[in-house]
Amino acid sequence: MDTKVTKEQVENIQLDHGILFKNYGLPTQELVAPLRGGTTFTVERTYRSIEFDGARGKTKGLTTLDDENATLTVKTLNSSLETFADKLPGAKITRDEETKKITKIEASKMGILPDDAYIENVTVFAQKISGEFVKITISNAMDENGIEFAAVQKAEGEIELAYSAHHTYDENEKVPLYTIENIKEISYDAPEDDENQEEEV
């Protein structure tokens, strides 16, 4: 059997680990690092086949997509309070007035979590042989898995981050649950916040 492989197929082979950002392309862009064990993107879908009398089985045109969820999962060695805050969305956060860095995290009251408990986007880049990257973005991300943190002798503490995308009930907010695309390069620098820029005279 002759199994021909094209140059394009070879160039699309994915290499090495992924590079993960929170709020990529926004003024609050942040590289999530260091990671261990790579990154995993998962989409779970529930399909339903509409049944009718006389059907011989699954029928073309009568399959519905009932629900869809997307998750980006990684393990980080970064035991910063920012990482703990990601694992405990909605917790009471205290920040330094000057640096804005988190100085304390406290348990919060129960109830609906505020909008700022969600991360606008979490994005992973995976390089291919061609030099381009597969860019995968999930929107309105939150880790809902709680936290398990162990300090072990002669080992590094790993924290698993499982960011789940969330749908919105506002039909006017046209943000896709996830996007998958090809890009040529990664921008490591966060864009400037236009509101903080001085107007040119």
pLDDT tens digits for 28-51?
999 999 999 999 999 999 999 999
CA distance from start to end of the chain: 71
Binned at pLDDT 50, 70 and 90, residue 196 comes out as low
- Structural domain includes residue 192: no
- Structural domain includes residue 198: no
The tokens of 156 are what?
């590094």
Residue 198's pLDDT is what? Answer: 47
- Structural domain includes residue 146: yes
pLDDT above 90 (res 2): no
Mean pLDDT over each residue of the chain, to the nearest integer: 91
113, 104, 106: which is closest to 92 by C-alpha? Answer: 106
The tokens of 147 are what?
């936290």
Q: H helices of the chain, where? A: 7-11, 81-87
3-state helix, strand and coil shares in percent for the chain, rounded to the nearest 5 = 10, 40, 50
State which residues form the domain around 67. Answer: 7-186
pLDDT tens digits for 139-167?
999 999 999 998 988 999 999 999 999 99
* Total count of domains within the chain: 1
Pairing of strands 63-76, 92-95: unpaired
- Structural domain includes residue 166: yes
**Least confident range of 9-18, 129-138, 146-155, 191-200:** 191-200
Residue 200's pLDDT is what? Answer: 42
- Structural domain includes residue 98: yes
pLDDT tens digits for 100-143?
899 999 998 889 999 999 999 999 999 999 999 999 999 999 99
The tokens of 27 are what?
């003024």
Residue 15's pLDDT is what? Answer: 84
- Structural domain includes residue 135: yes
Separation between Cα atoms, residue 123 and residue 84, nearest integer Å: 19
Q: How far is CA 190 from CA 30, 96, 183, 186, 193, in A?
A: 8, 22, 17, 11, 9
Omega before residue 89 within 30° of 0, cis = no
- Structural domain includes residue 196: no
- Structural domain includes residue 2: no
CB 120 within 8 A of CB 23: yes
